[in-house]
Chains A and B, each alone.
Chain A
Amino acid sequence: MTVTSVHKDPEARSLTFTADFAAPVERVWQIWEDPRQLERWWGPPTWPATFTQHEVKPGGRSHYFMTGPEGEKAHGWWQFTVVEAPTTLQFDDGFADENGEPAPEPPAVHATVTLTATNDGTRMVISSTFSSLEHLEQLAAMGMEEGMREALGQVDAILAE
């Protein structure tokens, strides 16, 4: 796996992330489509996600919650706007109350995912557009800094092999 590029644009309120995986497009699609695989990577490191609903189709909705270190729960929802298996996904991602009802604030993040075949596997491009930095603030509060430390630890571990 390589993170090929990251493009941050504070003025356009967006972040675009490109990564290459050594697996076919159909296989990478599954990590989005299968909720059991999705919940293994969606949550920040100390906030694992559990998907209770996951309808990968245009207009389909997903519900999930993330469980924090103290057992606290943060609920979230997705609504799919574009689903073209196995290459394109677009959805809005927002926070919800404990009943799964979308919270009015902060506004949702719009995500676009595209998977394309490469010589060695799949290139995944994720683009997130924020209408609000508050959503980011909340995510940042959910152990992202720990994520950064863990990340550095993992890099060390890989290099040591």
Chain B
Amino acid sequence: MDKVFHALADKTRRDIVQRVLVSPQSVSVLAGEYSMSFAAVQKHVAVLERARLVTKQKRGREQLVSADPDTLRHASQLLDRYEQLWRHRVRAIAEILSEDTDNIEDNKEQS
């Protein structure tokens, strides 16, 4: 998972993921989209591959790159869970703050 964020930290790599999410593309077609060498694009694809954000398949002479939506989904699920943690924290803070106003101990909310 660590690799996922590293892989997505680069603008070109994010762009590659977006393109191949729409439809699988060959490395050479991808290379045509950027003002960098074929080797440089290949390197970016390799980083994405290691993070399991994309997979590469041989199709004839071409290497076809496709997105792995499960990995992306997993990353976003983790952020969802982090959101839940903060929701819990905010609720707990609100409870502490509410003790200032209602000092009625026996009426303490318990849930």
Identify whether the interface residues of B are mostly helix, strand, loop, or mixed: helix
Taking CB atoms, residues of chain B closer than 8 Å to A107 are 2
Partner of A137, one of B1, B8, B72, B100: B1
Taking CB atoms, residues of chain B closer than 8 Å to A154 are 91, 111
Q: How far is the CA of A145 from the CA of B88 in the complex (A)?
A: 11
B residues with CB within 8 A of A: 1-2, 4-5, 8-9, 14, 72, 75-76, 78-94, 96-97, 100, 109, 111
Closest to A149 in B: B84
Q: How far is the CA of A30 from the CA of B100 in the complex (A)?
A: 12
Check if A151 sits within 8 Å of B79, measured CB to CB.
no
Identify whether the interface residues of A are mostly helix, strand, loop, or mixed: mixed
Check if B87 sits within 8 Å of A151, measured CB to CB.
yes
Given A28-B97, A151-B88, 20 more pairs with CB closer than 8 A: A3-B90, A17-B83, A19-B93, A40-B92, A40-B96, A41-B92, A41-B93, A42-B89, A106-B2, A126-B86, A132-B2, A133-B1, A133-B2, A133-B4, A133-B75, A134-B2, A136-B82, A140-B82, A151-B87, A154-B111
* B10 CB to nearest chain A CB (Å): 10
